[in-house]
């Protein structure tokens, strides 16, 4: 039998997960949120007739309690439920944070529950669209072995995939995701900045580079690393890289250091892709920090 779920935090991630679980036959036993109206709205969507703004009253009705509140509120909400006797032995208590470990749920653990960090590696802007995006998404799982088994089953049931993390890995793991997602957006912004220096408006520039970004992502999926790397560095085209640096210093010098820093890293990727040592050395020297 599938475990009954209680959602605490009827926002974007909690809503998406509740809808995805309901869709594959899980019973959402209750929905709790800070405001009763949020709790009630999600309860209606997932066909639950129990909602509240008092988590300790409804948490006991779940085999799995998912604390889908903002990261900064997880410890406090967990402690409140524990203090008021809302957890029971053998329950699984999970949170959805990318950065926090399962250990922040220790008050639930002390009450006899098994704790779990269950982070969807997906961006969830709205519950209904988010539920669709969770199908096929990876979830990282970390926590007590009993909770990991339950988490794995939930993830696989909704069509997701599991990335199991050892204890102590969460912060560095989250750093990697931040590089992959947030820095990609920042890089797109930097490319716009350089285009602006030659008179291309940001809106048009973004439209122009989107197919390039999408093609690059597709290459990553299809041929993987380091083969997805194309361009002057992996070709060993030193003159082109030198010309880039001169153009940047003349017309968009605020992007010079970023270009050099990422360039040096790109040389290492190119080395793995087979760039010969002579070119590696020449490019590394060319891309050295300008102050050094």
Ligand X SMILES: NC(=O)c1ccc[n+]([C@@H]2O[C@H](COP(=O)([O-])OP(=O)(O)OC[C@H]3O[C@@H](n4cnc5c(N)ncnc54)[C@H](OP(=O)(O)O)[C@@H]3O)[C@@H](O)[C@H]2O)c1
Binding site for ligand X (CB under 6 A): 8-14, 33-35, 38, 68-71, 73, 77, 95-98, 119-120, 123-124
CB contact at 8 A, 197 and 252: yes
Q: Cα–Cα distance between 182 and 78 in angstroms, integer? A: 29
- Give, in order, the Cα–Cα distances in Å from 8 to each of 2, 84, 96, 189, 277: 19, 15, 11, 36, 56
- Smaller CB separation from ligand X, 55 or 232: 55
DSSP readout, 12-48? Answer: HHHHHHHHHHHHTT--EEEEE-SSHHHHHHHHHHTT-
- Minimum Å gap between C-beta 107 and ligand X is 14
- Minimum Å gap between C-beta 192 and ligand X is 24
Position with the least CB separation from ligand X? 11
CB atoms within 10 A of CB 254: 11
- Smaller CB separation from ligand X, 170 or 244: 170
Residue 95: both structure tokens together: 């949170």
- Minimum Å gap between C-beta 181 and ligand X is 10
- Minimum Å gap between C-beta 14 and ligand X is 6
- Smaller CB separation from ligand X, 38 or 266: 38
- Minimum Å gap between C-beta 88 and ligand X is 19
- Smaller CB separation from ligand X, 22 or 95: 95
CB contact at 8 A, 78 and 108: yes
- Smaller CB separation from ligand X, 69 or 241: 69
- Minimum Å gap between C-beta 23 and ligand X is 18
CB hemisphere CA count around 188 (13 angstroms): 20
- Smaller CB separation from ligand X, 14 or 263: 14
Q: Cα–Cα distance between 144 and 150 in angstroms, integer? A: 10
Give the length of the chain. 292
């Amino acid at each position: 039998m599938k475990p009954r779920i209680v959602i605490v935090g009827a926002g974007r991630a909690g809503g998406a997960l509740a809808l995805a679980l309901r869709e594959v036959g899980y019973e959402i036993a209750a929905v709790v949120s800070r405001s009763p109206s949020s709790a009630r709205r999600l309860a209606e969507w997932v066909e639950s007739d129990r909602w509240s703004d008092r988590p300790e009253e409804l948490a006991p009705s779940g085999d799995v309690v998912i604390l889908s509140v903002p990261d900064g509120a997880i410890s406090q909400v967990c402690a409140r439920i524990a203090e008021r006797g809302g957890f029971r032995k053998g329950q699984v208590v999970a949170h959805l944070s990318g950065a926090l470990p399962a250990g922040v749920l220790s008050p639930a653990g002390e009450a006899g529950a098994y704790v779990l960090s269950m982070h969807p590696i997906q961006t969830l802007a709205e519950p209904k669209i988010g539920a669709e995006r969770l199908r096929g998404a990876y979830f990282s799982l970390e926590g007590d072995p009993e909770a990991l088994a339950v988490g794995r089953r939930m993830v696989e049931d909704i069509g997701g995939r599991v990335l199991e993390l050892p204890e102590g890995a969460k912060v560095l793991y989250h750093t990697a995701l931040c590089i992959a997602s947030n820095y990609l957006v920042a890089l797109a912004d930097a490319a716009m900045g350089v285009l602006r220096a030659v008179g291309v408006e940001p809106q048009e520039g973004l439209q122009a580079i989107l197919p390039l970004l999408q093609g690059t992502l597709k290459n990553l999926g299809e041929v993987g690393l380091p083969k997805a790397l194309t361009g002057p560095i992996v070709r060993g085209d030193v003159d082109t890289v030198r010309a880039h640096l001169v153009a940047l210093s003349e017309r968009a010098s605020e992007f010079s250091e970023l270009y050099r820093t990422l360039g040096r890293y790109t040389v290492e990727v190119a080395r793995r892709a087979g760039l010969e040592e002579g070119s590696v050395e020449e490019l590394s020297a060319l891309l050295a920090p300008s102050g050094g």
